[in-house]
Amino acid sequence: MGWGIRGRLLHASWLLWLTLLVMGPAMGAGAANERVLVLGDSLSAAYNMPTEAGWVARLAERLGPDARVINAAISGETTSGARARLPDALERHQPSIVIIALGGNDGLRGISPAAMRENLLAMIDRSRAAGARVVLAGVRLPSNYGTAFIERFRQVYRDVAERTDVPLIPMLLADVAEDPSLMQADGIHPNQKAQPIILETVWSALAPLLESDPAAPAAD
């Protein structure tokens, strides 16, 4: 049966409308009205690049106009500094989700892994008490810090995630840190090309939370 040009155009338009009708709710499911607070350091603060190029700004674009993403990342931030700032940030922004991507500066400054662990646990507990769901992201340390210290450092994230049952991103810079083409000249900070990769890493842990209920407070 001949459709004719007009018939084919009408058919194509109908198929496009039907596709958007089916996919639209799924694409935006769970993201509407979410308020995501990102606690981080220079890895999340779009260091040495335009703010809009960073993974946090890209996350805001992905979640859409009905969601709000607050980038509270500060270059040089430690877990103790973020812990001190968190109560005010929770009260001011009232986030539904908190992403904690911290610890790198603790490790670089030789801060005790035990102190870092205590700070992370306190931040998760405080965030949950405020009704927020939490994602925890780990970071790496340079190899010159020694195998023993690096393993103790990495174990902190695993222990905290297991104790609190929060989603864990083992390494924020997965698929980035070992690729020189994705890192800045200092070998520590990701470049602009790496930001979409970091976003996908974060998204893998964040997406399941977008339709979930707020988690219960952490156990003692």
Active site residues: 42, 186, 189
Q: To the nearest 10°, report the CA torsion of 16, 17, 21, 26.
A: 30
